[in-house]
Every structure is written in structure tokens, then in C-alpha cells.
Structure 1
């Protein structure tokens, strides 16, 4: 039996033990403060707060306090000030603004208080860690999904949020990186400051874009609001909506996908629990990375149910945790009550003893419940691992799709080879015959070869990715090898007046290389040089043998636009495109070139001061090679996929076609004998295209002739109808038209004029009169071309047709509107005019006698000339304000046109 004194002594030890225990627990507390930027009306923010509370509850040592700024920067600054003054261990901030809270964050940094930034970024580096999803990748995932679903074509609308927050900017950036690679996708963007403004703006878009197919919104809320607007107009089923957040629940994005309102949503994790774990690591002095990215995944109808079930399970587990925590809190309150009673009623030894037993029991019970919570926590971690595995499966699925397209590319090679073989046979047959057929065969051959090269590039890229490339090297005279490729570009150099040279310090350098792969390296580097070097520039190949290092350097130097210094390290990354690169391209050429050079155990580096210089260094001898890679004889037939210039586009082929010496006449006549007679008489001086009247309009749109000779009485449509249709079409309205008819009455003559005919001849007509009439119409058209080519700003005056005036006025208005936009391309101009690039080129060439690119340059130069006369802006300011990419390019273009530099022109005036 315990005596009273022993019992009091035991009680004293118990009280001392618990006092020390509580003291140590208080001392080991980690105080964490979280400043939330947006009110809890936002479902996503509410979810973030909840996950923080749940995670904090799993760590008894954590004391979490959440402040809500309620959409106010002032409130958020005040909350952070409170946390600094309270000397919290770690501060977590979800910024409302990227600039306004920077001073208070730097103040916390100066006080030595770690700061974790979540979700949105701030314009300072004075914080401990950043946690959030990769918003650029989120945008890219949406872009890839739309591209795969739309087969890289169609109308797409991007609905942005306000532009002053980093997630919106980065999501839009990632989305553009993917979508801008596909010219057949037409993207439109609107900004939704709030849901009310979204209703009006999106409604206007639906009215102006009846063929809208996809909508990519900043978040699920905006996407669902846009769906409601589309539903009001009965278009919700024809448009596919993609949102971001992927929250679970009745109003979340996953449920919207399951209900068919959204085509897909992208999981945008809140990162609440991860933020608490980071804070605990920081408080425990553990090393953590500065940037911490959260994984994301696309959720569509294929995985929406699975993701919803997973999230439901997690929610259920979290609910159980909260219930258990409430029980623990209740037990702890009872324990505190008992503890206080022990202090007050210490003299009741029996009661104290009973209470001690009860307290011990409570402790054991609490520990059991904690163990249960730990088990539950492990289950949650396992479920998260399952989600990660599922995301990995999705990744493997996407890889399978890419492999499928690669396989299809393999299948393309067989029919392409057959096409090329047939075309080459026909070229031999027509080698000394019809030049028109020969030119068509050349176009077919060049484009077939270009398609084959693009397919080979894709296959090479996949081989490099899968590390399945095996090189076969042979001993090669490097100078002879280089000269053979050098000659392929001489014609282009002469045409563009480029100073193009190749030099070496040793004509007999022998290098072991795979000619097929190195051939592609040369063509890629030279094609880039010609692509970005202006007419009249310099391109040189310098081959230098380094006797000391037993290596050879191959330098490709040009005087082009160069590469921004900040982007040089990224130039060899796949699909990378420089910020000053406005040319079309796949973005894998340089990456492939580097990979091929790496296979040779060589190196490639780039320098860009004035122009660009690529330096390829290859080791000499065979010590660096595997003997299995060396072959004695090399089949030259392997070099069947040489590259051509990306500049040789359809527009250049059109230029060649339009630059033929003979003008083109379309003769529309249903009488076969008369058609053959007129054609034979006019074919000496003109290129004659014949039509029996059944396909007259289609033939005119296809050929775009210089003049049309049309009979009045035709089987399907009369000459009046054909003439009126062509004159009302903006693409053919400029073409002079002569109507032939057996009727010579005044009514027929008046109807011909009303239909827009330029001349009216009656049958039987005098052949000499017909020839002179054609010459006169063509001569007048050439005079108009010359006048408007040299008087760009005087479109309103003169004798052009109304449609031509309106057409050229529209072009001038668009060019004036985008005058300072150096990236405004021919494709964008054609899109604004609702015609194709080829149609725009043909129309301007026919009306003005120059290409649309030359017209744009002339327009910008005319505007710069006015600014040189009337303003005090410096040359660089004028260059940029007139849309030139650089002052040097502006000065060169100005001098080429006016034979005087901008500076000298200003001084003369």
C-alpha cells in the first residue's frame, strides 16, 4: 500500500513529468502562416486551404494560421506584416499581385524568415522556394490535345484571364508554342476580365466565327461559363471546351467532363499539402530546391471516372482523418481538464491516482489513434502513387501515338519512291520537248523530294530519340565532299547576289565520316545561312586543319540576322525557334545536326556577333571510332535525301510561273474549229489556255490569265454571266475581258459594258484588230502596274477598277495598322483578307507586277521616307516603327531601293 507521503511524491513526479513534457512540446512547435490572396468563394482556393489544414493536422508540431486577403493587395501586405512581427518560423504566400508585395517579402527575407511562394510568381528572387504547377506545360498539354483531336486544322479560341498574373501568361505561352507550329489552325484570343464581360465577348466571337471548333479557357469556371453562352445559341454540341483546374465534386471540372460539358480539363493541383511539407523541411533546416513543380495530367472522357473515383477516395480518407482529429481534440480537452483537476485536487490521493490511471489510458488511446492515422496516411500516399502510375501510363499512351505516326511516315516512303521514279522517267522523256511539261515535272519532282526529306527528318529524329542510329564511316576527301554540296547552292547565291565562297588550308584533308549524315548537316547549316542572309550578303565555308590537335574545323559563316545571345544555349534543343525567326520550319534541323556530329565524336558550337557562325569540329584518324563503324566502300546512292531550301516555297514557284515571257490568254469558245483557229493564231505571241465553256470560271481561277477572250453564246453560262462573275470576284476582277459575239446591236453592247467587259468585238472579226486590241489592253494594264508600284499611297486616284481600288486600299489599311509589327507576315495579311497566300500573291502580281512581299517592303520604305522628312526620330526608331526587324536591315533595304542611305537622304532633305 502506498502511504500518503509516497502518493504525494508520486503525484509530484507525475506533475513534473507532464510539465516537462508539455514544455518540450511547446518548445518544438513550428509556427506556419499562410497568406491566401483570394476569398474562399473560389473553389480552387478553398481546396488549397483545406488540403493545408489536413496536412498540418498530420503533424502535431505544426501550428498553422491562415490569413485571407479577400482580393486586396493592401490586406495581404498587412497580413504578411503581422506574420513578420509575430516571428513565425515559415511564411507561405499565394500572391495577389506580382509587384506590390515584393517590398514586404524582401523585408521578411531580411528578417531571416523563410518565405514560400505558391501558385503565382512574383518579380523578385528574394524568397526561399517556389511551389506550383508548370503553367507553360499546362498550356502545351492543352495545345497538343487540341492538335491531336483536330488533326492540326480548324478554328480555335483561347480565352485568357487578366494578363497581369503569371499562370495566365505562361499558359498562353505554352499553348502558342504548340498551336503556332500548325499553319492550318486558326487561333483567336479574347480576354475575360470577369464573367459578365466574357458573355458579351464570347457571344460576339460565336457570331463572327460560325465554324469555331475548340475553346481553350484559363480555368474550368470560364470554360463552363463559355459553354452556357454557347448553349444559349445552340452551339454547345459543335464546340469542344477545354478548361484547367480539374477539381472533383458536383461543380468541378471532372464532373463537367463526365457530363459532356467539357471535352477535357487539365489537373492543376493546389499544392496545399506539398507547401506544408516544404515548410516543415525548411523549419527543420533541411535542404530543398528553389523551384518545386507539381505534376499535372489531362483528364478527358477516357480517364474522368477513374480520376473522380481516386479523388473521392482521397476525400473520404481526408474526411476520416478530420473525424479522427476531432476525436483526438476531444480526448486532449478531456485530458487537459483532468490535468487541471489533478492540480486543484491534489490532496485527494485516491482520486488523483484514479485520474492518473485514466490519463494513462487516454494517452494509450491517443497513440492508437495516431497509429491508425499513420496507416491512413500511408494509404493516401499509396493512392497518390497510383495516380502517378496512371499519369505514366498516359505518357506511354502518348508515346504510342507518336510511334504510330512515325510508322505511318515509314509507309509514305514507298509510294513517294514510286512517284519520284515515274517523274524522273517523264523528265528524261520530255528533256528536249515541251518546256511547260518539263517545268511542271520539275515542280512535281522538287516537291516530292521535299516531302521525302521532311519524312526522313521525322524518322531521323525518332531514331536519335530512341538511340537507334548506327553510323557507317568511310575515308573521305573533305574538300571534294564540301565542294559537291557547295555547288548545289551556287544557283541560289547568284540569284540573290550573295558573295558565296569556300576556302581551306589543306586541299587533301582525309576524314572518316558518314557521308549520308554529314551531307544532312551541311544542308541544314547552309539552308539556315541562305534563309536568314539578306540579298547581297555574305556566306562562306572555311575548312581549317589543326595539325596540333589533329582535328579539322568546318566553319559556316553568314551575314544574316544573327541569334540573340540569351538564346544561343537553346539553339540545339528540339523544336526550338528563335524569337527573331519568322521563317517556317520544323525546329529539329539543328538538333539533328548536333546529334549526327555527336555520333562522329565531334562538336558543334555557334557564335553570333554580326551574323552567325557555326563551327563543326571533327577528329581525324580512326582512334575515336569503333572498327565496326568503318566501311571500305560507300554507296553514293545513299545520298538520296539532300535538303533543299525552305525558301523554295510555293510562292517562288508561282514567281517563276508568272515571270514567263509570254502573257497568258484564256480563250472561251464552244465552237471547236474556231477555238483551235484563234488558239493557233495567238499562240505565237501568247500562251493560250483553251476552254469549251463548261469550266470557264474554274479555269480562270486556276490559271489567273493576263487576258480573257470569251464568246457570248456558251452551253452553260452566257459570256455576260461569266464576265460578270469574274469581275465581281476580287481574285479575277483585274483581268481584262474581251467579249466576242455575232450580235452587233446596241443592247448587246450595253449588256457587255454592264457585265464589266473591257472590249466588245463582233463576228466576223478582223484578226489584226483582235491582236492590236489585246496588245492595247495589256499595255494599259502594264502602265497601271508601273504607276501603282511607284505610287503606293495614291490608290484612290487613277483608273483602276472599283474592286481593285478597294482591294489595294484594304491591303494599305492593314499594312498601316501593323506598320510597327515586324512579325506581320504575308500569311497574316492573306488571313485578314480571307484569301489564301497563293491567291493574294497572284492577285497583287497581276495588278501591280510585283510580289506581295516586295509590295510590303515598298510600303514600309515609303512610310520611312515620310518619317525621315517630317520627324526628328533617329534611324533606329524609324526602322522599328516601320516594321523592320533591325536598323541594319532597314538601311540596306532603303539603300537598295533609293540608292542612298537613310542618313544621307535625311541630310539632303
Structure 2
């Protein structure tokens, strides 16, 4: 067919050519052929824009030029002429004059300095050439439009953040931009405005910055040596900030001086990267404005409305948002790569179209002898219209893709914020099992001889917590599969009644131990249902585990299985503590923790359970009331009509279905003191820990040397502190299910005069410096992070108690000790004042003293024993004896008078008591030249 068409076209072309030649029409044909051959595949440029910039040596300027070229890629009819002045104002003036001579349609100027560039810019403006000023201003108002950020606002933003970093007081140094530039002047003015508003902030000096990498290094080094109190540097660009950091690093003060930069560009050693690496405390994002300058120029050239003053937004990037900014920039760069690829594709299509158009022109000349000129023109018109429609459709597809990418980016940003908050809780959830794995292991390795019972107990604890970690990891992997859409259903028809009964039976031992009424109540003896055994096993396991966790001893947990029309229903109900309406509404939200501390196992378990039931095309609901109980309801469809063929398969073997890591938390008796053979007079240690395994391990480990008392909640711990007044307290910071956490408990202990002397050691998975500062501020004597070494914990306890014993000996040396703790000093002042008030009363006893102090006899005894290493009676006698010694030396009163004023019943008893304690009679003591 193709050969036939070609032969026909060739024959018609030959015939018509002869007729045209016979009519002397060959000159016309030759002109048409020449015109077609000379047709250019590209169109002529419609506008010429001249761009004069101060330099292209820095990344910020390169980014600005890249933004301009990127925007111009959508306008191929625009020609951009670029001149770089290399930071020389005189050279920039010459280059602008050159651009004016090249008959440009619009001039874009980024001035090197304001004053030198102003006359030539005014000249261009007066010659009716539109002028767009970019980034830095000139000294004149004669321009068409201005595009750039407010440098004064940049300075103000840096000043406000500097005040926040230094808490309103400190010494500040500023390093400027190129001297004389509008950016340097405006940023300095904005920074100074804020500094002057805070009297505690003092600007030490302002150094000048330029392109010389060592221009201010010597001055800054000398300044750091002469004024070591410098606390913050504000550099007017990120490159200067990096140089300042290196100078501070060489001077050894990099960790003491905070640095704020300006620009906030992506890339290695740029602002965002420097903040992310901790080199800069913050950077002010200063947009280049390249894209906006081109958009403004196009509006001017196309006679469209435009804004004369285009202020670009700025923002501050610090440690709170640098990761998000970095991820956003990476995402934008990936999007830009896709856009560039689409642009290249459009250019290829355009070139293909141009080539096809030339071919069509040539074919037109060839076929002008075959068909009528009108018919051929109509054909060309239709072809052009189709090509334009294709290009418009492709352009619209690109715009739609761009909108979709932006929408996905916003969703990803929100999801990232939620996941970052979620992962911040993982360390606490993982560190407690890791502590119970590492600590027993280290104890076993340190001991030369280990009994079989101790070895089995420790390895059992290690195995249990390793399984717990493995279960958490498995749940996280399941969640990852669900997020990625790779979670698939593998359903088979099985007896649901037998399946649920077996799972409930696994919890029987735990129910028996906790005296919980666990019952499985099926409506039928058997019920075949299509379900994925592995996934349903995990759902029921999670629901029953949560029910046991929140059901008190002696409660009930019932599992019912009923058939309702075309649905099978499984209900797991308990009479536990229940949920608030808010907790019930968000029970299956992965990132919701409610008023309680976040629990990773519970959050993952319920969220995954919902996902697994939805895979079955079923429903999972919860009904709960605070203080009454909770009921979870699972509804699964009967039959297999709702399943696709690839979701149905053979039943999995039991070993595959349920290699269940049944680490059901075995509760321990957490009431009362742990019975351990400890030496008499051993120090009492109170342990407040919500994790049962860790609480039992600590009690067993410390019980070999101390008298140990354990509590599970902060409230019970405070009550036990008041009851027994222990020698030292060990508490976890995060106490699940309690309104009083470890920090609040520590603050309450240190604020109460009855307990302020007790040392407190905090255990926590939060090991960051800010958490340590918070614990120390609460009054903790030691702060140990999980996982911890038990030997280190023991040595910390011993050292704390030894230091307390030293204080006791020092305090008991004088009549009125002077402890460092303000609460302890107040207590001893009140105690001594009461004793001196009733010193002459021989019937004044410890019982009366405790009543007037507002303490029980036991509390008073333990408090005085802890502070003075003596009982209350001995201290009362010591005060009386020292008062008597003073009166014997400083007065001439008789023995009877002194005995009466110091509370002794008679002069004889006074003499006997005095000689027993001083080895001298009162008369001998009065005559002796030395004081005892």
C-alpha cells in the first residue's frame, strides 16, 4: 500500500511539474523550496532582559540566577543577558551602560553598593527602560519595581531570637556584610532596634565582613581573647557565620558562643545544613527573589498589573524546624528535577514538532502539483490545531502534576510531624526492657559463681523482655507493611469457636494468678468462618492483653461469640478502669496518647487491630465508661463473597499461625516490704517503679544489702515516704497510670520539712541534657538513665548514704548545725527553739516535742536520726548539757539554780548526769581553765 501511494504521488508530481515548467512557473517553485528550506525550527526572541549582578562567586547569587533561569524556562521567547561585576561597583556601572547600548527591553539590577550604582540606574529609567531593583536598593526612588526581602526585618528577627537565646542578658557581636551596601545598613539597623529594647543585651562591637576569608579573623580572635564573656555572634550571612564559628573553634569557645546567620540556603555547609549540624543556633531564611524578579519583569513587559514594592517573606530556621525545612528542600529539589525532566520532554516534543512542520512544508511544495492549494492549507490548519491542543493538554497535565505534588508534600509534612512525635516515645518504651536484659546479664558476667536458681531467674527475665521487644518490633513491622500497602490477607475457612477458645485458654494462668474471672461464652459449639488466623490471633491477643492491663485483681473479663444475620460478633468486655470520652474517640489513633503517658505497645496494638479487621472487611468498635469498664466488639462477615481469589488459601499450620510471644506480664505483689535477709540496722530504700519486672529485679538486687520497700504509683510512694521515712528513694520519672510522676514526687519530697533530707535517685529513659537539668532542678540527688548498670546504681546508693553519714557527724558537732538544705536548716532551728523554750521543764518529753513539731514520734525519730545520727532524747540531753556548761563558765549561779534552769529535777541528779558525760563534777568543770 505504501509503495502504491508513493508511486501515485511521484507520477502526479512529474505530470504537474511538466505543466508548471511549460507555463514558466519554475521561479515560483524555486522560491517556495528555498523559503521552506530556510525556515528556522525556533522562533525569534520577543524580549531581551539585561541582568547586572554584583557577583556570581557565592552560592546565594548562583541560587538566585538558577531561580531566574528556571522561571524563564517557561518563557522561551525571553532572552536573558547576564553581566557579573565581581563585586566592583565601577565595573557594574560599565556593564549596565553596555546593556543599555544593546537595546534591552528591561533591566534587572542587583547593586553592589547603593550610591555608585544609582546614577546609571536613573539614566536607564529616564531612557524609558523599565528597571527592576533586586535584593539591594539604590539611593534613588527612580525605578519601576523592587523585589527583595526587608533587610531591616531580617535584623529584627535575628535580634528577637538573640534575646530569646540569651534570656534577655548577654554580650553580642555583629559581623556585617560588604561595607556601604544597603543590606549591611538595613540589617544592622533592624538588629540594633531590638538590642536597644533589651537593656540586658549589649552589642560589644560590629566587625566588617567582605570576600576575604581572613578579613575579620584576627579581629575576632583578639576580641575573644580580650572579652571572654562574648555569648552570641550575629553574622549577616551564613558564609561569614561559618568563618566566625571556625575562629571560635580555634579559640576553644565554640561551645560557649551561639551564632546566628542569614540566608538559609540548602546544601552542604549552607545555612540549613549548619543549623542541622549544630554549628549555627539559627539562620534567617533570606529568599533570593530570582523567580519573583522574572515574574515582575514579565508582567511589566506584557503590560499586565504588577506591584512596585515586592516584599519577600522571611522566616527563622532553628533546631525546632530545621529537619522539616531540610526535608522540604530535598522534596522540592526532587520535584524540580521532575519539572526539568518534563521541560526537556516538552523541548524534545517542540523540536519534533518543528521538524515535522518543516517536513510538512516540504511535502506541501511536493504535493502542490497533486492537490489543490486550498485543500492542503486546510489540512495544515487541522494538523497545527491538533499539535497545539496536544501541547496544551501536556502543559495542563504538568500543572496538574505540580498541584498533586504540592498536595502530597503538605500531607507528607503533616505525617512527618506526627511520626516525629510518635518516635520520641519509642526510647522510653524500649529502654525499660533493655534495662531488664542488660542489667541481669551484666550481673551474671560480673559474678564468678552463680547458683542455678539465680541463673534461671535472670535468664528467664532476659528471655521475657527480649520477647517483649520482639513483639514491639513485629508490631512496628506490621505497621510499616500497612503504611506501604503491602499487608495482604491470607484467609481460610476454620472453626472460629475453637480458635478463640485456644487464645482465651492461653490467658487462663494469668487470670488465675490475678483472681480474674476469665470466661469464654460462645453461642455455638462450632462455627466455620473465613479469616486470616495470624492476623486475627494478633487482634484478640492485643484486646485481651489490654483488658488484663486495665482490669484490677478480682475483676472479670468475658469473651462472647455470637452470630448475627450475616455477621459473626466477638465481644471482649471487662470491668476495668474504662476510658474517658476523648480516649474512647481516639482509641484506634496511632499517635494519640490522651492524658496518660504514651504507651507504644497499646498504641500500636489497637491501631494494627483496626487495620487487620478492616482487611477482613469487618468492623472494630469500642464502648467504655470511666470507672465502669470497656467492651471491644469485632464483627466479621460470614462466607467468602467479600474475599478476592488471591486472599483465599489453605489454613496455615499452628506453628506458623501462632508462634505467640506470650509475654503476659506476670504481676508481682507490690505491697509492703520485700522479705530479704539483710543485716540489722540496714538502710531503708523505697523503690517507686511502675514496671513490675524492673520493680521486682531492683528489689531483689538491692535487698541483699538494704531493707527494700516497693510501690507502684507516685501517690502510694508519697504515702509510704511519710509512713516509714526511708533513708533513700529510687523512682522512675515516667509512672504510667498515675497523676504524680517521678519529678513531681521529688519536688514534693524536697519541699516538705518532714522528708526534705531524704536523697532521691531518678531512673529514666530520657537521657537528654534538658531532661537531666529538669531532674536536677526538681531536687534529685542523682539522675541515672536506662539501661543502667546495677553495680553503678549500688555504688551511687552507697556513696549517697556515706555522704549523708558525714553530714550527720558534722551536724551533731555543734549545738545548732548549719545544713546546706534550707528546709533542713528550718527544721533544726524549729526543733532547737522548742527545746530551749521548754528547757527548764523537767517533764518535757519526746512525745510533747513531737506534738509541737506536728510530727509523729516515728517521723521525728527518723528525721533527727537522719540529720544528726542520734535519737531525740540524746539530742535533748545534749542541748541541756551544753546550756549547763555555758552557765557554769559564764555565770555565778549555784548548782541548784543551774539544775532548775536546765530541766534537771535536782542538783544531785544534775551532778551525777554531768559527771557521767564530762568525767568531771560541775564544780571541777567551773574551776578548770579549759572548756570541754
The TM-score range, normalised by the shorter chain, is 0.3 to 0.5
Structure 2 length-normalised TM = 0.37
